Structure formats: C-alpha cells, structure tokens
A and B are shown apart, each in its own frame.
Chain A
Amino acid sequence: MLTVTDLACARGGVPVLSGVSFAVPAGGVLILRGPNGVGKTTLLRTLAGLQPALSGTVDFPEDQGAYASHADGVKATLTVTENLTFWAQVHGSRMPDDILATFDLETLRDRMAGTLSAGQKRRLGLARLGVIGRKVLFLDEPTVSLDAFSVRLFADFLRDRHLAQGGLAVIATHIDLGIDAPELDLTPFKAGPQTTGGSDEAFL
C-alpha cells in the first residue's frame, strides 16, 4: 500500500509539482501521464527517496521501494547472469529460476551485456525488478526501446508475478501497457511559473 499526501517536489531547486495526493492499494498500478517536463521523473525519484520532498509525505512499507529508469545499471562487461545475480545478492534475495525465461533472456544468459541490443539490454534492466523482491516499484518509462512483443512480456511479468503477489507499481509511460489501471495526469499539479536556466551548473 502506497499513500502520497500533499506532496511537493523540486528539480534543481525549482519547484515542479505541488499538492500531489494519491493512494495505490497492494496489487494496484498507477500510470502517470503528462507532457515532457511536467515532473514525472522528479515525482518518481522523490517517491523512491532519491531526493527529498519539499513538503508532504510518502508512505509505504519500509525497505520495499525500488526505482528503475532508462539508466538501469547494466554493466557492459558483466554477463547477463552476473548482472542479475549481483542485484539479487545486494538485496539479499535469491534469483528466481524462471526470471530469464520471463524476459526471454535464456539464450543470452552468458553473453556480455555490452553486446546486447538496446531492447535486450532494457529487458535485462527490467528483469532486475524480478530478482530484487521489492514490492513497491517506481518505474520511469520502463518500455523505452522495447518492441511490442517485449512490452507484452513486461506487462505479463507485472500482472502475473508482481501484482499477483501483492506488489504495486507507479509507472510513468507514454504508451499503452495493456494493463487495466487508473491514470493520473500531472498537468494540474504543476507548481508556480516555470523558470528555466540560471542554475549554478552553468558556471562549471
């Protein structure tokens, strides 16, 4: 169960979203919608605890959150199995035997991740979600560079394994995942006038 109350978050010191409230029950999914730059990534990073919220609360069972974006931490010089085993060990969980099959990676198991195609690498990144055993997933555009078949694999994983076992997910995506889920458009929560540039980073 994930409860978000009156959350405000900022990107680079500039407030992006304010007054975001929603709840996702166990086994549920919430799809975040909104145009580029509305703050989907910022919201997900705030929910995952990577950056502090300006105000408001995020409540979910401790040590159950996992974040995933297009930068999925796949190491090019490790094999597919080594990549997954590492994340399983870090989270102190066992790698499910069928996780490679779930993401159609079985024939690639001993290949270096650096030799995989963009879509295969993405599938490997998503397979990580299946080995870490976390219940609350914050997914930022999980289907980038996936073909229709792989999107279906991912949707099946989400529905049949993650949600069926009481997990939940908040997903920012622009495509139709084929999962029956409520959608939240972030446009109304946009905070104040948009300011651009002027950050200290311009000097570095």
Chain B
Amino acid sequence: MIMLEKRPQPSRFWVLATPALAVVLTMFFGGLLFLALGKNPFETIRTIFLDPLFSEFAWYYRPQLLIKGAPLVLIAIGLSFGFRAGIWNIGAEGQYIVGAICGAAVGLAFYPLESFIIFPLMILAGALGGMLWAMIPGILRVKFGTNEILVSLMLVYVAEQLLASMALGALRNPDGMGFPGSRNLAQYPSAANLELISGSGMHWGVVTALIVVIFAYVTLSRHIFGFHVRLSGQSPRAARFAGVNPGRLILICMGLSGALAGLAGLFEVAGPAGQVSIDFNVGYGFTAIIVAFLGRLHPVGILLAGALMALTYIGGEIAQSNLGLPLAAIQLMQGMLLFFLLAVDVLTNYRVRFATGAAA
C-alpha cells in the first residue's frame, strides 16, 4: 500500500520538478479529453503547445506570446510578494483597470499635444492609480482589520463600473459618433505604447516585465525586504521578533502589487488594446494568480509560467480555429494545469512510500 510520509523539509528537487510534471500530466489527460471529443490528441497537443512556437506562422505568434504574457508576468510578480508574506491581494484585475484609466486619462488630457514627456507621465499615473486602488484594502486591513481578500475582490466590480462610466463619459472619444470608448491611444504618437522593433511584439510593457523579474529576484534573494517578506510568510512570530512591522509590510505588498497591476493596465491600454472601452479587461488580473502559483511565487518561475499560460491561450485559439475544438475544452485544460500542480505538490512536502502489506 502507498503511504505518505512528511518530509522534514520540502524537497528541493520536487519544488522544481512538480510544475514540469503538472504540465506533462495536463498534456496526457488533456489528450484523453481531446480523444473523447473525437480529435487526434497528438495533433491537438501539438497545436496548442508547439504551433505558436514552431509552425509556419510562428513569426506572427511568437511576438503575440510576449504581448499576452507580459501583463500576466508583471501582475503575477507583484502578487507573489504579498502571497509569500500571507497577504492576499485577489483584486489585481481592479487595480489593472484603474491603472489603465488613470494612465489613459493623463494621455488624453494632453491630446493633441506632442511631447516626449507624456508617455512617462502616463506610466507614472498608471502605477499610481493601481497602487492607490490597492491601498484601499491595504489601509482598511491595517486600520480596521478587514479581510483584504474580500475587499480587494469586491473592488474589482467597482473598478468595472468605473471603467464603464469612463468609457461612456469622461474619457469618451468626442469624435466617436456617440459610440462608447475613448480615443485610440495607439494612434496618438506621444501616448502610444508601440512595438519598439516592428514585428517583434516587444513593447514597453514587455521590457518592464523583464526588468521587474530581475528586480524581484534580487530583492527576494539579496535584500532585507525580501527576507522580511519570506520570513513573514513562514513564521509571522519570528518576523515580529526580527523587527518586521506587519502593518507596513501589508501596505508595501499591497501597494507594490497594485502599482505593477496598474502598470500592466497602462501598457495594455496604450498599446495592444489602444482605448479605454467598456470591456477593456479580459481577466489578466485573475489569470495572474494562477501564474504566480504555477511559477512557485519565484520570479523566474513566474516568467516561465506566464509564457506557458500565454502559450495555451494562443495555442488554444489556433486549436479552436483549425481543429474545431470548443473553447470550454481549452479552458478545462488550463484548469487542469493548476489542478495537477496543486495535486502533485504533495510530493514536495511528502515522501511516497510503498509499504508492505503487514505495515500500516
């Protein structure tokens, strides 16, 4: 019979191996699912995981991976700090929206003036907007002990209403024939977050995401703040003794994750999306939570997880279009990924023993 034995310390090998194992399991059971739907499982898996990278049209898909992955990585890195310290910001989607609104508003305020200073100001406004939105649950938690999970989540719905009212009101394009949505920032050179090299998919958001990954890595492994974050997550009492001010830590973690989510929103609204529209947000803030955990809350892991998530999105679209796979099957497979990750996580903390029948 099979027994689980708790490891004295989490296995370093399995910490790294479980995400890969989860991917393999997802491919296998996903393949079974596709088989049950009457599709060739090998072809389907190849379409989802490899076609975006190696097919005939990979020159188009590879840049798209960056565009799709950058906001996920940016948001997930921010979340990972809080998650490590036991601070649960679930409302990144709202902070993403508010960051986009604030950044876009700054850009639109200058229209049609052209100046190099506009885009930096927008970036600042985007980060600030996201940060302030995240500070609401942060301050409420510190001052009144409210639950930041609930408050941050609820504020997503508030942000969505704010977005709708902005797209229909204050930020609406005056030349838009009465249709909702702001002016297209991508067509306003001073405010546009365009590709730095044409056809590469590399926009400022991608660059920022990569820089943030490096910063996060250094901070977590070398800086005293990173140490405090890790300590607070592992042992709040020990952290208190080490001089960590829990209230301040909460505010910093919330503010940081909010600012990064806001940045992601700004880069999206000024570039790929182009305008503030009623349904500008497509769930990056929520998917980033999966990305953060899939990446083990580790900056490099998050980078890989973000790339993998982007891959399944884009590959999933190809599979829908080329193979006639329903969207639900793709989503099911994405869900499997997180499910298997959590399931095989048991190997990190437990050793599997095959005991003989007499034992037990």
Q: Decide whether A and B assemble into one complex.
A: no
Which residues of A are interface residues toward B (Cβ below 8 A)? none
Which residues of B are interface residues toward A (Cβ below 8 A)? none
